[in-house]
C-alpha cells in the first residue's frame, strides 16, 4: 500500500514514509517490514486491507489502520459532491419553496423537477467553461532559439519531482492535473538512464514516457528511470482551466438553491475570487501565474445567495429599472 518513484509520489506524501525514496531509488509498492513487493491482487484499496485483516500476506506484519482510513477518506471526499446532488433533490421535494426564491406556492413534484433542471444548468455551465478552457488554455507552447538544458529529478524525498528548464522549475503537480496531461519536448539530445538519443520528440506523462525516433517509439516506465535530462528547442506544457470538482460543486448548489442561485454564484464567486486573488499578487505575496482555487469562492457565492441573494437581486433589478 506504499509506493515510490516519479509515478507514485502521492503515496509518499500521504503516508510520510522516511524511506529515502527518489528517482535514484525507485520501488513499487512494498511491505515496510519485509520489503517484499506487494502484488496487484494484494494492493486493491480498502478491499485488500480487509481481506488480509490488516497484515502483510508475505510476513504477517501488521499494516497500520491509517492506510485504510486515508483510502476510505479519499473515496468519501471524492464522491461527496455527488451525494450532495441527491440530498439537494430530496430537500427540494420536501421544501419546494426553495426553488421558488423561498416563497410558498410550488408543489413537491415541481420542486424536485426544478432542482434537477437547476443542477443540470450548473453542471452544463461550468462544464462548458472547462471544455472551452481546454481549447483556449489547454497547453503552453514555447520555442527556443538555442537548445535549452532540462532535467527531471527529485532532490528532496519528501517533495514531488521537479522539472527544470533553464531557470524555470515546475513541480509535478504544476504540470499534471488529469490523466491525459503530457509534457512534450523536442529534444536535440536526450539521456534516459544510460541510453542516449538525438533529435527526438519525447512525451512524458505522469507514469510513463515515449521517445519518438525515426525508427518508431520507445516506451519507458518512469519508476525505472534513474536519470532523465537533455536539451530541447521546443516545449509544450499542459494547462487545466478548471477542475471538474468545481463543476460538481456548482451542480450541487443548483440542486439545493435553484437556477437563479447558479447564475448568482458564478458571478459572485468570480468577483470574490478576483478581489481576493489580485491583492496578494499586487503586494508580491503570490506569483501572478499561480492557480486560484475557485471552489471556496463558489461556496461563498452560494452562501451569500442563501442568506441575501433574492433580496440583493430584487434591489439590483430595482436600481436598473430606476436607471432607465
C-alpha cell at 8: 507514485
pTM metric for this prediction = 0.51
Domain positions in the chain: 6-71, 76-136+243-323, 139-238
What pLDDT was estimated at residue 17?
Answer: 31
Taking the alpha carbons at both ends of the chain, their separation in whole angstroms is 66
User: In angstroms, rounded to a whole number, what is the distance separating the alpha carbons of residues 235 and 250?
Assistant: 34
Phi, psi of 70 (to 5 degrees): -65, -40
The CA-atom distances, in angstroms, between 258 and each of 121, 233, 252, 270 are: 9, 51, 10, 19
Phi, psi of 165 (to 5 degrees): -130, 110
Task: Give the three-state DSSP class for 151.
Answer: strand
What pLDDT was estimated at residue 158?
Answer: 66
Is the CB of residue 174 less than 8 Å from the CB of residue 289? no
Beta pairing class for 183-192 and 228-238: antiparallel
Q: Where are the alpha helices (DSSP H) in the chain?
A: 9-15, 47-51, 65-94, 108-137, 172-175, 244-257, 259-282, 295-323
Binned average pLDDT, 10 residues per bin, the chain of 324 residues: 30 31 46 75 79 84 82 68 76 76 69 87 85 70 91 78 85 76 92 94 91 90 89 85 78 88 91 83 68 84 88 79 60
What pLDDT was estimated at residue 7?
Answer: 33
Amino acid at each position: 500500500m506504499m509506493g515510490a518513484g516519479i509515478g507514485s509520489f502521492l503515496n509518499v506524501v500521504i503516508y510520510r514514509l522516511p524511506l529515502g525514496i527518489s528517482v535514484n531509488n525507485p520501488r513499487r509498492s512494498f511491505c515496510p517490514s519485509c520489503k517484499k513487493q506487494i502484488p496487484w491482487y494484494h494492493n486493491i484499496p480498502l478491499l485488500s486491507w480487509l481481506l488480509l485483516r490488516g497484515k502483510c500476506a508475505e510476513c504477517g506484519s501488521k499494516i497500520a489502520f491509517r492506510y485504510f482510513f486515508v483510502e476510505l477518506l479519499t473515496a468519501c471526499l471524492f464522491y461527496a459532491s455527488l451525494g450532495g446532488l441527491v440530498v439537494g433533490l430530496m430537500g427540494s421535494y420536501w421544501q419546494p419553496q426553495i426553488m421558488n426564491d423561498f416563497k410558498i406556492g410550488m408543489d413537491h413534484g415541481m420542486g424536485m423537477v426544478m432542482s434537477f433542471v437547476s443542477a443540470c444548468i450548473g453542471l452544463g455551465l461550468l462544464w462548458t467553461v472547462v471544455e472551452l478552457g481546454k481549447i483556449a488554455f489547454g497547453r503552453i507552447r514555447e520555442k527556443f532559439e538555442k537548445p535549452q538544458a532540462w532535467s527531471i529529478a527529485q532532490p528532496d524525498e519528501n517533495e514531488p519531482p521537479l522539472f527544470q528548464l533553464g531557470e524555470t522549475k515546475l513541480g509535478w503537480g504544476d504540470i499534471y492535473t488529469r490523466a491525459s496531461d503530457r509534457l512534450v519536448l523536442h529534444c536535440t539530445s536526450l539521456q534516459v538512464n544510460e541510453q542516449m538519443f538525438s533529435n527526438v520528440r519525447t512525451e512524458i506523462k505522469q507514469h510513463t514516457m515515449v521517445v519518438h525516433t525515426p525508427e518508431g517509439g520507445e516506451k519507458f516506465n518512469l519508476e525505472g528511470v534513474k536519470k532523465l535530462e537533455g536539451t530541447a528547442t521546443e516545449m509544450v506544457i499542459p494547462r487545466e482551466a478548471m477542475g471538474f470538482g468545481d463543476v460538481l460543486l456548482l451542480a450541487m448548489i443548483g440542486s439545493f438553491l435553484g437556477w437563479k442561485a447558479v447564475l448568482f454564484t458564478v458571478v459572485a464567486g468570480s468577483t470574490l475570487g478576483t478581489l481576493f486573488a489580485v491583492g496578494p499578487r499586487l503586494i508580491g505575496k503570490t506569483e501572478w501565474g499561480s492557480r486560484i482555487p475557485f471552489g471556496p469562492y463558489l461556496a461563498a457565492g452560494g452562501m451569500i445567495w442563501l442568506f441575501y441573494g433574492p433580496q440583493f437581486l430584487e434591489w439590483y433589478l430595482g436600481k436598473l429599472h430606476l436607471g432607465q
